[in-house]
């Protein structure tokens, strides 16, 4: 603890000089060469303009190694009402944001802001952090046996060592504080005194860090599907499994209330017993391509999205009768898409994780029994961070709002990537106003088809009118029993989930 305190104080002193908000002469601004660079905009991405910046790899040593950062821009469609730039981040960490201005092209914000997207350091068109892949050492299993745990750990260790071999030179500087500092250079180069900010998922944490480091450079901010300020990062992932289980239990109550139609159980406990019976049956003998692991994954996805509830009940009915359920496989594949890695496995290691493997194994024993749905056990398993091969150059940023305006946090009650409790916690930490989306499992709401959320957020971003300190919007409706079982309907719904699924 003493070592980190000392290093943190020294580094903070260096960075206070290196990233000061002055944009004056080179003598007063150590980042003058970066702040004063000229952008060359070129057409890209379906009507957007893109440009490349040069940035310090290490802000404590800005005169040494440099990296590139690519940004995109969509100009405000009503120039007479333009009120600056709105910087966008889709989350990840590791998500490309170059196309984000297109996602919000029809929003009210697009009328009055230049929408700015970017590939964060380490991502895509910016100086990329590329890690070698390793062959899998174990098969993905939603309920692994104890003897499988060491293979899960060995795979995480191998992935960490492979990444360090191929990306060790820049890896320790791919973190949230440096990405926030990159954004402030972007602000200066764009000639803006302040930025406005919209971040989804992990992007909410990036926005909170930016506001904590540069409070006088941030104006309006929206944090959509927020991470928990006290769960960075392991506890955030563990909480995902809890949220998945909560959705399954709510679905079971809904199904039980309609037992005359579904006949899966007369109460929630009965429905859950049916689900576990199907899981046990599939473990003993899969039905075509439907395995227990796929079934558990489908339960996590199908219960999260309320419009799919009747489709999931139909899939359970089919599998109980030992009939293949293609819709369950579609949902399972969607769950597997959430498990991709990359820069993710570097940024999430910016804080310390347990190194004692038994800590993870104890959690895995609990999670495979209590939270098997949606790959809940993966949230408890050791990651590359348990074997981290680099030392983060600075401690975690203390989140606070001291000098920038009250913002808005949007949080869905059934979100499994950033559990609902994360939103109220972030709103309380920063003194922001909270907009809860009731009975909704989507992750990233603003800019989707939720008219209520779009209206509230547009009024704030465009007109500066805050919603109440705590308010609600309805989510997607639960299905009617008249809705027929339909594989194309499931596929269409899952295809419509535009934003990335990881925090």
Q: Name residues whose C-beta falls within 8 Å of residue 139's C-beta, 6 or more positions apart in sequence.
A: none
Tell whether pTM > 0.75: yes
pLDDT at 400 over 60: yes
Q: How many CB atoms lie within 10 A of CB 184?
A: 22
- pLDDT-derived band at 27 (thresholds 50, 70, 90) equals low
- Only one residue has tokens 């800590």, namely 359
pLDDT digits (tens, 9 = 90+) for 103-162: 999 999 999 999 999 999 999 999 999 888 888 898 899 999 999 999 999 999 999 999
Look at 494 and 426; give whichever has higher pLDDT.
426
- pLDDT-derived band at 28 (thresholds 50, 70, 90) equals confident
Res 484: pLDDT: 77
For the chain, what is the mean pLDDT?
91
- pLDDT-derived band at 308 (thresholds 50, 70, 90) equals very high
Distances (CA, A) of 231 to 242, 352, 406, 436: 14, 12, 22, 20
* Tokens describing residue 202: 């992990």
pLDDT at 366 over 70: yes
User: What ranges make up the beta strands (E) of 57-138?
Assistant: 66-74, 85-89, 114-119
* Tokens describing residue 178: 């440096």
* Tokens describing residue 262: 């579904």
pLDDT at 497 over 90: no
pLDDT digits (tens, 9 = 90+) for 241-294: 999 999 999 999 999 999 999 999 999 999 999 999 999 999 999 999 999 999
Question: Average pLDDT for residues 9-14, to the nearest whole number?
Answer: 27
Res 503: pLDDT: 47
Number of helices (H) and strands (E) in the chain: give both, helices first. 18, 10
* Tokens describing residue 143: 């309920």
Q: How many CB atoms lie within 10 A of CB 479?
A: 17
Helix (H, G, I), strand (E, B) or coil at 116: strand
Report DSSP letters for 178-241, one per residue.
Answer: HHHHHHHHHHHHTT-S-EEEEEETHHHHHHHHHHHH-GGGEEEEEEESPPPTT-TTHHHHHHHH
Report DSSP letters for 241-254, one per residue.
Answer: HHHHHHHHHHHHHH
């Amino acid at each position: 603890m003493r070592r980190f305190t000392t290093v943190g104080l020294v580094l903070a002193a260096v960075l206070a000089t290196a990233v000061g908000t002055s944009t004056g002469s080179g003598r007063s601004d150590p980042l003058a060469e970066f702040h004063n660079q000229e952008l060359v905009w070129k057409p890209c991405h379906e009507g957007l303009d893109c440009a490349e910046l040069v940035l310090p790899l290490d802000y404590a040593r800005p005169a040494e190694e440099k990296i590139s950062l690519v940004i995109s821009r969509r100009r405000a469609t009503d120039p007479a009402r333009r009120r600056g730039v709105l910087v966008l981040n889709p989350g990840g960490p590791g998500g490309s944001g170059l196309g984000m201005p297109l996602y919000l092209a029809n929003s009210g914000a697009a009328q009055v802001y230049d929408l700015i997207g970017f590939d964060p350091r380490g991502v895509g068109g910016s100086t990329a952090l590329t890690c070698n892949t390793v062959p899998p050492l174990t098969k993905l299993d939603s309920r692994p046996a104890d003897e499988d745990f060491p293979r899960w750990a060995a795979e995480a260790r191998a992935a960490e060592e492979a990444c360090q071999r191929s990306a060790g030179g820049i890896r320790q500087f791919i973190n949230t504080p440096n990405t926030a500092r990159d954004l402030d250079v972007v602000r200066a180069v764009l000639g803006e005194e302040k930025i406005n900010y919209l971040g989804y998922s992990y992007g909410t944490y990036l926005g909170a860090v930016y506001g904590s480091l540069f409070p006088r450079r941030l104006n309006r901010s929206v944090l959509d599907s927020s991470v928990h300020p006290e769960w960075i990062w392991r506890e955030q992932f563990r909480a995902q499994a809890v949220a998945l289980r909560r959705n399954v239990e709510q679905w079971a109550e809904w199904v039980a209330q309609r037992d005359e139609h579904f006949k899966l159980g007369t109460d929630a406990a009965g429905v859950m017993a049916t689900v576990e019976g199907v899981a046990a049956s599939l473990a003993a003998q899969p039905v075509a391509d439907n395995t227990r692991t796929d079934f558990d994954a489908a339960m996590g996805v199908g219960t999260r999205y309320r419009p799919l509830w009747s489709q999931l009940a139909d899939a359970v009915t089919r599998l109980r009768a030992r009939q293949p359920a293609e819709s369950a496989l579609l949902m399972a594949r969607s769950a597997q898409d959430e498990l991709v890695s990359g820069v993710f496995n570097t940024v999430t290691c910016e804080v310390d994780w347990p190194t004692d493997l038994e800590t993870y194994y104890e959690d895995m024993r609990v999670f495979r029994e209590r939270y098997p749905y949606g790959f809940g056990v993966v949230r408890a398993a050791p990651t590359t961070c348990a074997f981290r091969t680099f030392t983060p150059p600075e401690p975690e940023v203390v989140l606070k709002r001291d000098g920038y305006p009250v913002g808005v946090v949007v949080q869905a009650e059934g979100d499994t990537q950033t559990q609902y409790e994360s939103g109220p916690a972030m709103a309380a930490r920063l003194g922001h106003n909270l907009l809860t989306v009731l009975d909704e499992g989507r992750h990233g709401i603003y800019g989707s088809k939720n008219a209520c959320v779009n209206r509230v957020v547009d009024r704030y971003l465009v007109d500066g009118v805050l919603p109440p300190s705590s308010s609600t919007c309805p989510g997607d409706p639960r299905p009617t029993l008249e809705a027929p079982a339909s594989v194309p309907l499931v596929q269409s719904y899952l295809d419509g989930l535009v934003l990335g699924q990881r925090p």
